Amino acid sequence: MTGLTRLSAAEMATLLRDGEVSSVELTQAHLNRIEAVDGAVHAFLQTLPKVALAEAKAADAARAAGEDLPELAGVPIAVKDVLATKGLKTTCGSKILANWIPAYDATVVRKLREARLPVLGKTNMDEFAMGSSTEHSAYGPTHNPWDLERIPGGSGGGSAAAVAAFEAPLALGSDTGGSIRQPAAVTGTVGAKPTYGQVSRYGLVAMASSLDQVGPVARNVLDTALLHALIGGHDPKDMTSLNEPVPPVADAARQGLAGDVKGMRVGIVQELGGRGYQPGVEDRFHEALEVLRHLGAEIETVSCPSFRFALPAYYLIMPSEASSNLARFDAMRYGIRVEPDAGPVTVESVMGATREAGFGPEVKRRVILGTYALSAGYYDAYYGNALKVRTLIQRDFENAWEDVDVLVSPTSPTTAFKLGEKLDDPLAMYLADVATIPSNLAGIPGLSVPCGLAPDGLPVGFQILAPARADAFLYRVGGALEAVLEDQWGGPLLDRAPALPVATEGADQ
């Protein structure tokens, strides 16, 4: 059967359930696609053909035996290389973990295995999830399938690019300041950051523990919701895990796809637009708003004045937590060990040599920033004040929820920029996440859905934010928007992406 890789995950699940295709066939089709195009895209750091096919075979056997399987059983998936995988190398995009093979699975990976989703491989990422372009990977950048000279977003550009290039129907990412949503926006995919604590962080290599959140990446809203529902739920191994059921996100997606958003109150965030936002991005955003208005949603403008301080607050809180979390990579407990070229071999000299060789420049920059912000005499002035700003941002959200059900904005202020364009300007790079950071500081859920192409021919993302635990609102609004826009486009936005160069003949397109 040809064209398997272009089906949605829900369509694949239906074919599997009806016996029209096997998981082995689906998995092999995606492995063929990866072999064909990933030389150009570099979405994967490693693929796992033998493991994936064995898991697919087990899924087929379980179905043949009449086991009651989850809806997505047998559908292959890619996993960001920040999540621990038992017996399989996990590098976090860093040289310092080049040879780490975890002895355990992250909880979300365990859930994938229990639900019998074959894992195709581990995807590329900015080192330790620090970046907005996947150019800070120690193993080379990932390329945007829409234009191979442009970035796929970050830090989870590998997962988004794999989905956009039809190398995987589903992927897992992590979102600390937009690392799922911003890549989704610039690759024309869908990405969600669940409510903080709704998906377990056990086995996620931490960058900033109060901000990190695992979430789904897919090509449409329903697939994203189905994966969200699968990976969510309480985990006693994660002390920040919410002890409550996952909201009915898949039902909400289906409700939205039926056009049911009448009466929903949608707030445009006044501070997330205007100066610095690409005109084509704002044009597509406002056109999408008109779609929601036509469907019966009530649109109003909301002011969140503290959002203008979100970026500087984030770049004090996140590096502070990162410098603490990365202190474990000291050549004594975790990671590689490098001895100094000259002088005595001491704990300090080995630690210094190891970190110099093992960490890339962006990680070093953020560790230095964080260590400085936490140092004696500066803690209150920097980290302490950043925490106060975080509280003000949370209050802005609380005030907004009194008037609206969801808040919306462009996901990213621009479309994908060219590889190398912002590497020498960290502030310009950081500004790529200006619209996504506030939700991480507040712990609320967010979703990015495609809303069209800018005049440069590149995808634009539409961000939806909801109150904590109200993740279902995201999928209801996102589903409604997707249904109308895809009808206008004559199909999914990704159908309009240029063909990728193919390295092998006979690959499933």
Domains in the chain: ranges and CATH? 9-307+390-496 (3.90.1300.10)
Which residues in 32-168 belong to E strands, given as ranges? 44-47, 77-80, 119-123
pLDDT at 508: 54
CB 444 within 8 A of CB 465: yes
Q: Which residues, at least 6 apart from 14, have a Cβ–Cβ distance to it below 8 Å?
A: none
| DSSP-assigned beta bridge partners for residue 465 | 407, 446
CB 172 within 8 A of CB 214: yes
| DSSP-assigned beta bridge partners for residue 249 | none
Q: State yes or no: pLDDT of 506 exceeds 80.
A: no
pLDDT band for position 411 (cuts 50, 70, 90)? very high
Q: Which of 409, 416, 410 is nearest to 164 (CA)?
A: 416
Q: Rounded distance, CA 118 to CA 141, Å?
A: 25
Q: Rounded distance, CA 416 to CA 187, Å?
A: 8
pTM, entire model: 0.97
Which residues in 222-362 belong to E strands, given as ranges? 265-269, 298-302
pLDDT at 299: 98
Q: Which residues, at least 6 apart from 282, have a Cβ–Cβ distance to it below 8 Å?
A: 273, 410
Helix (H), strand (E) at residue 217? strand 214-218
How many beta carbons lie within 10 A of that of residue 243, not counting itself?
9
pLDDT band for position 343 (cuts 50, 70, 90)? confident
Q: What is the DSSP letter of 384?
A: I
- Token look-up 């699968």 returns 230
Q: State yes or no: pLDDT of 26 exceeds 60.
A: yes
| DSSP-assigned beta bridge partners for residue 47 | 121
pLDDT at 175: 98
Q: State yes or no: pLDDT of 505 exceeds 80.
A: no
Q: Rounded distance, CA 147 to CA 140, Å?
A: 17
Q: Rounded distance, CA 314 to CA 440, Å?
A: 9
Helix (H), strand (E) at residue 471? helix 471-489
CB 174 within 8 A of CB 83: yes
pLDDT at 366: 96
Q: State yes or no: pLDDT of 507 exceeds 80.
A: no
pLDDT band for position 331 (cuts 50, 70, 90)? confident
> Average pLDDT of 15-20?
98
| DSSP-assigned beta bridge partners for residue 410 | 462
The 10s digit of each residue's pLDDT in 129-141 is 999 999 999 999 9
Q: State yes or no: pLDDT of 254 exceeds 90.
A: yes
Q: State yes or no: pLDDT of 94 exceeds 90.
A: yes
Q: Which class for 504: exposed (0-12), middle (13-18), buried (19 or more C-beta within 10 A)? A: exposed
Quote the mean pLDDT of the chain.
Answer: 96
Judged by DSSP in three states, 303 sits in coil
The 10s digit of each residue's pLDDT in 68-91 is 999 999 999 999 999 999 999 999
pLDDT band for position 306 (cuts 50, 70, 90)? very high
Kind of pairing between the strands at 77-80 and 119-123 = parallel
> Average pLDDT of 266-274?
97
Share of residues in the chain with pLDDT > 90 (%): 94
- Report the catalytic residues: 80, 155, 179
pLDDT at 267: 98
Q: Rounded distance, CA 280 to CA 272, Å?
A: 15
Q: Rounded distance, CA 321 to CA 317, Å?
A: 6
pLDDT band for position 1 (cuts 50, 70, 90)? very low
The 10s digit of each residue's pLDDT in 487-496 is 999 999 999 9
Chain mean position to CA 112: 17
Cis peptide before 133, with omega less than 30 degrees from 0? Answer: no
The 10s digit of each residue's pLDDT in 416-472 is 999 999 999 999 999 999 999 999 999 999 999 999 999 999 999 999 999 999 999
Chain mean position to CA 387: 25
